């Protein structure tokens, strides 16, 4: 007698597919959570600069103190290309997991140093020098984190939803920034007085960041290597030089630089600099500017997967073009109106409108870069040219803004941001759509 086996319902999902999805989601979660902690550690400096600047640069005006703090923030970015090169090499030769684990340990060290750095009053000029050293270490770490994380998330995502899952790089990047602001908000509103924050309370988030980085280290130590690297590892010569291989792709490198230029300037303008801009230019209080920054960052963070999913449907290029066109046309009106507003709600909606536009870059820039390069040089290709561009333009945006304000030409910065976005728009017009013409399947 023939025994009939039970048939699976027509709509059932194979167990193998569910297992694969769970595996990918776990890997993306670990990669993303580590990215969040790294960016929390890095952005804590900017979030608390209003409170610790006087500890390292005393006897100066608030603008001058912030200018010096911004200079060290910018110098930290100079290490990011070195980090992109160093960790990109490690990731492309020895694996994404090793590079990600090493980067988070380095960030832990940098945060710990800042948490215990003595003030100018205690050790004199050595204080800002130690602060500079710690920021250089953090810049080195973050330079390696971005390229490797972007590569890892893109490789672990399902091809049909690569834009959606890769957008979580900026979800966690913005999330790290948001958590830093939330810690500041809690300390401002619930735990410490302004005097305590300026005296010693600014050290608390750096200590928290160092502790979280240790936790992430143990999570990443056992994380799964990406399928693309495992498949390519059989053909990778450990004596090869990914940087030399990168030089064989000058067009792709130029595209990374071009698409990053306007996006990174806009991103750092409307996120990092806005808190200080609202206090120093619009005249709002520190507490109010922090609340506005937290609110806009939260909505901005939630937008990333939405825009990433849209790019999976209509392509990457239309999304980038939307950012380029609207950013070019609306940057000057938004910043000019924002400078003269005294209403917190008006400030909130103006910044939010700008961040909706910037989402056209942030949500998909990581996956676009990853789709440009083959596996053997992908981490180097994503991280190194990006880090150079961010160091030259993103990391200096706040300094340029404060410098122009200091010499009485603040509105010149608005046109500077517009010009950078326009240059990226030219690149978007002529580049291919990487969703439909991707190098993700190529290993060499």
Report helix angle 204-221 to 168-186, nearest 10: 150
The predicted pLDDT at position 346 comes to 93
CA-nearest of 399, 372, 398, 401 to 384 is: 372
The predicted pLDDT at position 60 comes to 60
Upper half-sphere CA count for residue 72 (Cβ side, 13 Å): 27
The Cα–Cα gap between 354 and 375 comes to 35
- Residues 374, 236: contact at Cβ < 8 Å? no
The Cα–Cα gap between 130 and 136 comes to 10
The Cα–Cα gap between 289 and 351 comes to 11
What's this model's pTM, rounded to 2 decimal places? 0.81
Phi, psi angles (nearest 5°) of residue 406: -65, -30
Q: How is the chain split into domains, by residue range?
A: 27-233+241-430
The predicted pLDDT at position 157 comes to 80
HEC-encoded secondary structure of the chain: CCCCCCCCCCCCCCHHHHHHHHHHHHHHHHHHHHHHHHHHHHHHHHHCHHHHHHHHCCCCCHHHHHHHHHHHHHHHHHCHHHHHHHHHHHHHHHCHHHHHHHHHHHHHHHHHHHHHCCCHHHHCCHHHHHHHHHHHHHHHHHHHHHHHHHHHHHHHCCHHHHHHHHCHHHHHHHHHHHHHHHHHHHHHHHHCCHHHHHHCHHHHHHHHHHHHHHHHHHHHHCCCCCHHHHHHHCCCCCCCCHHHHHCCCHHHHHHHHHHHHHHHHHHHHHCCCHHHHHHHCCCCCHHHHHHHHHHHHHHHHHHHHHHHHHHHHHCHHHHHHHHHHHHHHHHHHHHHHHHCCCCHHHHHHHHHHHHHHHHHHHCCHHHHHHCCCCHHHHHHHHHHHHHHHHHHHHCCHHHHHHHHHHCCCCHHHHHHHHHHHHHHHHHHHHCCCCCCCCCCCCCC
CA-nearest of 201, 55, 75 to 134 is: 75
Q: How far, in whole angstroms, is CA 6 from its chain's centroid?
A: 50
CA-nearest of 39, 115, 65 to 271 is: 39
- Residues 377, 93: contact at Cβ < 8 Å? no
- pLDDT per 10-residue tile (average), the chain, 444 residues: 40 57 77 81 80 75 70 77 89 86 88 89 84 88 85 83 88 87 85 87 91 88 79 68 82 93 94 84 82 90 94 94 96 93 92 96 91 86 89 85 85 94 95 80 67
The Cα–Cα gap between 100 and 193 comes to 38
The predicted pLDDT at position 8 comes to 42
The domain made up of 27-233+241-430 is a member of CATH 1.20.1250.20: yes
The Cα–Cα gap between 344 and 336 comes to 15
């Amino acid at each position: 007698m023939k025994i009939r086996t039970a048939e699976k319902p027509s709509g059932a999902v194979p167990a193998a597919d569910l297992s694969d999805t769970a595996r990918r989601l776990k890997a993306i979660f670990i990669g993303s959570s580590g990215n969040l902690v790294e960016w929390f550690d890095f952005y804590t400096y900017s979030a608390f600069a209003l409170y610790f600047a006087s500890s390292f640069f005393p006897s100066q005006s608030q603008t001058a103190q912030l200018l010096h703090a911004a200079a060290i923030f910018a110098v930290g970015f100079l290490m990011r290309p070195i980090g992109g090169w160093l960790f990109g090499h490690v990731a492309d030769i020895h694996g994404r997991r090793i590079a990600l684990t090493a980067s988070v340990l380095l960030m832990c060290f940098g945060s710990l140093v800042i948490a215990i750095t003595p003030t100018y009053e205690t050790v004199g000029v050595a204080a800002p020098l130690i602060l500079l050293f710690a920021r250089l270490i953090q810049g080195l770490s973050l330079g390696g984190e971005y390229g490797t994380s972007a590569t890892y998330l893109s490789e672990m995502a399902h091809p049909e939803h690569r834009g959606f899952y890769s957008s979580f790089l900026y979800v966690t990047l913005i999330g790290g920034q948001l958590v830093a602001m939330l810690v500041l908000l809690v300390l401002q509103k619930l735990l410490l007085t302004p005097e305590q924050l300026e005296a010693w309370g600014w050290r608390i988030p750096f200590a928290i960041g160092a502790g979280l980085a240790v936790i992430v280290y143990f999570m990443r130590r056992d994380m799964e290597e990406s399928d693309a690297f495992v498949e390519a590892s059989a053909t990778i010569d450990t004596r090869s030089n990914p940087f030399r291989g990168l030089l064989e792709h000058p067009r792709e490198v130029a595209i990374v630089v071009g698409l990053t230029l306007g996006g990174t300037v806009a991103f750092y303008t409307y996120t990092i600099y806005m808190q200080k801009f609202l206090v120093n230019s619009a005249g709002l209080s520190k507490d109010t500017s922090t609340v506005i920054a937290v609110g806009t960052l939260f909505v901005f963070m939630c937008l990333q997967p939405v825009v990433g999913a849209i790019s999976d449907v209509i392509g990457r290029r239309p999304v980038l073009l939307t950012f380029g066109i609207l950013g070019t046309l609306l940057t000057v009106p938004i910043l000019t109106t924002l400078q003269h507003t005294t209403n917190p709600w008006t400030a909130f909606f103006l910044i939010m409108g700008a961040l909706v536009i910037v989402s056209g870059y942030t949500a998909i820039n990581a996956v676009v870069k990853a789709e440009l390069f083959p596996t053997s040089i992908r981490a180097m290709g994503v991280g190194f040219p990006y880090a150079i561009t961010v160091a030259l333009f993103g990391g200096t945006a706040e300094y340029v803004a404060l410098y122009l304000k200091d010499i009485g030409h603040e509105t010149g910065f608005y046109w500077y941001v517009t010009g950078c976005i326009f240059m990226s728009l030219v690149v978007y017009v002529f580049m291919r759509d990487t969703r439909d013409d991707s190098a993700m399947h190529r290993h060499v």
